[in-house]
Amino acid sequence: MIFQILEKLDRIERTISSDHQERWINIKGVSTYSSLSIPKIRRAVAKGELKVSRSAGKLLFKKAWVDKWLNS
């Protein structure tokens, strides 16, 4: 009985931990998430309005960055 409870608690903890990790999304994901065109997003990046990481030759965004830009 206690083993089953501990097992369920472990599963809950793993689920909560994975939900709180910031995920990276590419420009297409930002476009889908924001319902804005890719050129509009590229302009915001070029103007410095939208924070971006250019890691691995791609434009990568954190959802929090996109939310901040959309709400500004």
Give the structural domain span for 46: 23-72
Residue 17 falls within a domain, yes or no? no
Number of domains in the chain: 1
15 part of a folded domain: no
Please give the pLDDT value at position 6.
82
- In a domain, residue 4? The reply is no
**pLDDT score for 19:** 54
Q: What is the C-alpha separation between 70 and 42, in angstroms, rounded?
A: 14
69: domain CATH number is: 1.10.10.10
Q: How far from 18 is each of 12, 25, 28, CA to CA, in Å?
A: 10, 16, 23
Instruction: Decide: pTM greater than 0.75.
Output: no
- Mean confidence (pLDDT) of the chain: 88
Contacts of 60 (CB under 8 A, 6+ apart): 24, 25, 26, 52, 53, 54
**pLDDT tens digit string along 13-22?**
777 665 556 7
Is position 49 within any domain? Answer: yes
- Is residue 41 situated within a structural domain? yes
Backbone angles phi, psi at 13, to 5 degrees: -60, -45
pLDDT of residue 65: 95
**For 44-56, what is each residue's pLDDT tens digit?**
999 999 999 998 8
Handedness of CA 54, 45, 36, 34 (dihedral sign): positive
